[in-house]
Structure 1
């Protein structure tokens, strides 16, 4: 086992002077506060720094989830950590009062298809994506997925010219509520549900590259893959 992360000086993690019940409540409060304040999923390693040596993070999370059972938000395990999320049944209410510009950049069907190809076949080059779609995918499509933080440059491909590959990121996992890539749904199941369709790949929905067909040779953008 690796070393336990050391808490910052001044933070009493053991709380030995408190009765067990009060100590547990304080640990719960710390854990929930840190998760609530973070824009990204909080890892186990981070939470361990807040509590005593004999405290179980999993039991704390279970108790916090229990207290949130009747709240409109919940604590979910996603992208290697924990994060507060509003419950799906309140999605319509949130959309009803949210301005379009505040909802973030949306993904078109073509974006989703390209992203799905990356997710299920990574690491994969843009050229290989184009072979799957049957048409050359433009750099604008890839750039849009990069700008959202969903894909990043992976290792170079062993193909001639050693083009960079594309991989998904932790932001992708977090956005789609996945703990890891093993949680990806079966692609055929998505097709059967009508959420993704290979037929769309044969339409004009996917922007086609012009003369810039070699952007697989572009330099990495500095983002780290998942």
Structure 2
């Protein structure tokens, strides 16, 4: 007979017996402890379970961040939740002491970055639709590599002949690039100004045609790496 799982113990979230200042400090400690212990970003509704009903979670998080000023790590909003991350300025010290980050994944090639950008902006989108965007077939290897990195996943089937699976971005994509949600993606007008997107060349169904001078380089061949800044996960 298997062991009976013990029910989760309830905790006192209101802390009415504590003076307001101590109550606030206890709530701060609980929130920071939960975030610190979690392996991935913690949604706010989860953090709300350890504080009082009248606690302003936004003010509480601001108070924690104020205390972390000058510390080598911060509390960041990413992928729909909160996570501790070391500040980028300490990356060299961490590598020198522990070797962590010394074997960082190979940066995305320019073609992979362009495909990923297109998926992020126009998801859900099939590989065939991506081919229409770039004017040539998008390699399965490019899609496979982005999936292996965890940046994209299979989305709903497209209502087109054959019902192919679409591609969508993931929470890993948001976390890796420091976005809290897809609403944090740069405005398309900014991409047009940078020469990455041409809004005056659109297909009838709304997909863009032409993503800068490297738009046809989507077969994974010897492209220049796409550099990016990455905070180290705490």
Please state which band the TM-score falls in when normalised by the shorter chain. 0.7 to 0.9
| Structure 2 unmatched ranges of 5 or more | 1-6, 198-210, 222-234
User: What is the RMSD computed on CA atoms of the aligned residues?
Assistant: 2.6
Which residue is equivalent to 1:142?
143
Residues 157, 163 of structure 1: 8 Å contact kept:
yes
Asked if 1:53 corresponds to 2:53, the answer is: yes
Which residue is equivalent to 2:32?
32
Which residue is equivalent to 1:112?
113
Partner deviation per Cα, 1:165-207 (whole Å, 9 max, x = no partner): 111111111111112212110345346557896212234x633
How many residue pairs get aligned? The number is 201
Partner deviation per Cα, 1:26-76 (whole Å, 9 max, x = no partner): 110110111112221110111011112221111110100100111122111
CA 1:108 to 1:100, structure 2 compared with 1: closer, same or farther past 3 Å? farther
What is the alpha-carbon distance in structure 1 between the residues aligned to residue 134 and residue 128 of structure 2?
A: 10
What is the alpha-carbon distance in structure 1 between the residues aligned to residue 167 and residue 214 of structure 2?
A: 21
Asked if 1:200 corresponds to 2:214, the answer is: yes
What is the alpha-carbon distance in structure 1 between the residues aligned to residue 195 and residue 37 of structure 2?
A: 37
Q: State the 1:115 CA deviation.
A: 0.3
Partner deviation per Cα, 1:56-114 (whole Å, 9 max, x = no partner): 11111010010011112211112211112223444555566646664245322221111
Which residue is equivalent to 1:126?
127
Give the TM-score of the pair, scaled to structure 2: 0.76
What is the alpha-carbon distance in structure 1 between the residues aligned to residue 96 and residue 23 of structure 2?
A: 41
What is the alpha-carbon distance in structure 1 between the residues aligned to residue 146 and residue 15 of structure 2?
A: 46
Give the TM-score of the pair, scaled to structure 1: 0.78
Where do 1:43-192 residues align within 5 Å? Answer: 43-91=43-91, 94=94, 98=99, 102-104=103-105, 106-187=107-188, 189-190=190-191, 192=193
Moved over 3 A (4+): 88-102, 190-197
CA 1:128 to 1:195, structure 2 compared with 1: closer, same or farther past 3 Å? closer
CA 1:195 to 1:124, structure 2 compared with 1: closer, same or farther past 3 Å? closer
| Structure 1 unmatched ranges of 5 or more | 1-6, 209-226
CA 1:91 to 1:59, structure 2 compared with 1: closer, same or farther past 3 Å? same
Higher relative contact order structure (alpha carbons within 8 Å, sequence separation ≥ 6): 2
Residues 195, 212 of structure 2: 8 Å contact kept:
no
Residues 48, 57 of structure 1: 8 Å contact kept:
yes
* Matched position secondary structure for 1:153: strand
Which residue is equivalent to 2:4?
none
Q: Which has the higher helix share?
A: 1
Q: State the 1:143 CA deviation.
A: 1.2
